[in-house]
Structure 1
Amino acid sequence: MSDRVLKLAALQDLELMIREAEDPASKENEEALGFPMQGLEKLEKDRDRLVGQIPKKDLRIFQRIRRRYERVVVPVVSRICLGCFQELPTSRTRSLEEDAALPTCESCGRILYWL
Structure 2
Amino acid sequence: MASSPLSERLGRLFRLQDLDIMIREAQDPAVKKSEEEMGFRLQALEKLQGAREKLAETIDKRDLRLYERIAKKHDHGIVPVEERICLGCYMSLPTSAVPLTATPEHLLTCENCGRILYWLE
Runs of 5+ unmatched residues, structure 1? none
CA drift of 1:40 comes to 3.3
Q: Give the superposed CA RMSD.
A: 1.7
Runs of 5+ unmatched residues, structure 2? 1-5
Deviations 1:68-99 (A, max 9, x none): 11110001111111001111112222553347
What does 1:33-48 correspond to in 2, within 5 Å? 33-48=38-53
TM-score by length of 1: 0.89
Among 2, 9, 22, the residue aligned to 1:4: 9
Inter-partner Cα distance in structure 2 for 1:17 and 1:94: 29
- Which ranges of 4 or more aligned residues in structure 1 deviate by more than 4 Å? none
Number of residue pairs matched? 115
Report which stretch shifted further, 85-94 or 15-24: 85-94
Greater helix content: 1
Deviations 1:23-48 (A, max 9, x none): 11110111111112234333222211
SS of 1:91's equivalent? coil
